[in-house]
Chain A
Amino acid sequence: METTDEATMSKYYSIEPGNFILAGEAAEQIKKILKQLGIDAALIRKVAIASYEAEMNLVIHSVGGRLILNVNPQEITIIAQDDGPGIKDIELAMKEGYSTAPDAARELGFGAGMGLPNIKRYSDRFAIQSAEGEGTRVEMTFYLS
């Protein structure tokens, strides 16, 4: 755990594309850390679910990426960032039920076009930036008070 000062905490997880066995490890670590920090259980669950969906997105869709956890006294922020291939139509990707996931993801019970909508549903603040041929950056914020 990298601690910059007493009030701010930051953690970085590298996510391997296509590794469905490890998928979920980072979200589980994030959940553990928040539990150790004594965060409210209902809030932890929201952060854990959003992180897990974001991690699955990186595993399923990206060429590789990372999850970054930031905690300060006001809020918890999770950033999911990858190196491509980028999203062609963000509005369409945000629609429940729209998916470009391969069968390998569907066999695991994912790839139903619920990932980004679920992340948005659980976060207090949500931002997505992407362009085809570039990377995608999803930032989700959860208020602590």
Chain B
Amino acid sequence: MTILEIMNILGAELLCGQEIIDKEILYACGSDLMSDVLAFVKDHTILLTGLTNPQVVRTAEMMDISAIVFVRGKRPADEVIKIAAERKMAVLLTKYKMFTACGLLYQAGLRGDVI
């Protein structure tokens, strides 16, 4: 599914990355532990997280993750959005909590990476 479809499913606000909202996403990863995110590599993955510090964007950059969803309505600082925008990433903000956001995407057909 595309980033735009994910936005619609999660009723999410787009904080940056308008230019890539048609990009196809195949897998999702929900974690607040960046080392766990770094442990598994897969292309076309979206990251859902409750952390809003710059290291989230850096982790995504290392993993070639092009889209991040911040859950629980936690809005990252402008500086974090700026770092993501510079790296041409899409950043979404949803009011849903982690469990619900992941559940909605799974229900819509998105799957996790197989270890």
Contacts and interface: CB of A to CB of B under 8 A. Distances in A.
A1 interface: no
Contacts, number: 71
Interface of B is mostly: helix
Interface string B7-48: 000000000000000000000000111111111010000000
A20 interface: yes
Given A23-B58, A46-B41, A115 B35 contact: yes
A52 B62 contact: yes
B54 A21 contact: yes
Contact of B63 (A49, A108, A113): A49
A59 B54 CA distance: 15
Given A45-B41, A53-B38, A114-B39, A108 B62 contact: no
Contact of A107 (B31, B41, B53, B63): B53
A84 B39 CA distance: 26
B18 to A, nearest CB: 23
Interface size class of B (residues with CB under 8 A): 20 to 34
A121 B39 contact: yes
B62 A112 contact: no
Nearest to B87: A28
Interface string A19-58: 0110110011001000000000110011011001100000
B79 to A, nearest CB: 9
B58 A109 contact: no
B33 A52 contact: no
B61 to A, nearest CB: 6
12 contacts: A20-B55, A21-B54, A27-B62, A28-B62, A52-B38, A109-B37, A111-B35, A112-B35, A112-B36, A114-B39, A115-B35, A118-B35
Given A110-B55, A111-B35, A112-B35, 15 more contacts: A23-B58, A24-B55, A24-B61, A27-B58, A52-B58, A109-B34, A109-B37, A109-B53, A112-B33, A114-B36, A114-B39, A118-B35, A118-B38, A118-B39, A121-B39
Interface of B: 31-39, 41, 49, 51, 53-56, 58-59, 61-64
Interface of A: 20-21, 23-24, 27-28, 31, 41-42, 45-46, 48-49, 52-53, 107-115, 118, 121
